[in-house]
Structure 1
Amino acid sequence: MEKIPNRGPALIVYYHGAIPIDYYYFLAHVIIQKGRTCHSVADHFLFKIPGFKLLLEVFSVIHGPQEECVRALRNGHLLGISPGGVREAMFSDETYRLFWGKRKGFAQVAIDCQVPIIPMFTQNLREGFRSLGTLSK
């Protein structure tokens, strides 16, 4: 929390556990401690769930093309992104393997906007909820 600026943009990059409850608590903590919201990037499939799109918009969730991420940061917002996303949530295991693949757009967004990158990791997050298992190589 001490790295989160009181104002201005920053990119928070976090590990996506099976249920990212740590990130939800982080979002609440930012509101309480810093008095600001953090925009979040979510998988596009969430926006297709009937009735869910409005809820996502209320909580400043975007579906994450680079242009939209750049716009959020240039407007001075905090932006949280988990490059591993749903694949990481479902297939990582107790070794906390990252599933970023070729997802490096978040780094280009940070370069384009010249914002700080704040990594976030919660120890033992995977042990709280078990998932399906690992992907074979």
Structure 2
Amino acid sequence: MALFERSRVSGRYAHSKFPPFEWTGQQTSLTRCIAWMLLALVVWGWIAFLMLADYGPEFGTRAMCRGPLAGPSSEAVLCRSELRQWPALLGILALAVIATIIAAATTVYAKVLSRLARRNGPGVRPQR
């Protein structure tokens, strides 16, 4: 028997107490789900920061330019940031929505895989 080969009788791995680590479909989909959720949270945080935070040079005790949702915008030349204009903000919002939809889809996929894995346990043989 080769190293890390399963015994047919006991179902355990020979020559080792623990099996080698193998990524299953369920673990991979769960990892992808978490990654997409984190990406969606980062993009939503980014758009919230761009929409609400003041920016530009400091004028007295606060920044000269207000965020698009924080208050009336200043018409000064220094306040014309390309990331604070509505087309760019809508593009970032679209990225946030897409990342959220993919995170939701991978979450559903991971839950379906886990339920299928529980239903079809390791000892269950497919019916013919």
Q: TM-score range by the shorter chain?
A: under 0.3
Structure with a larger share of its residues in strand? 1
TM-score (norm 2): 0.22
> Does 1 or 2 have the higher relative contact order (CA < 8 Å, sep 6+)?
1
Of structures 1 and 2, the larger Rg is shown by 2
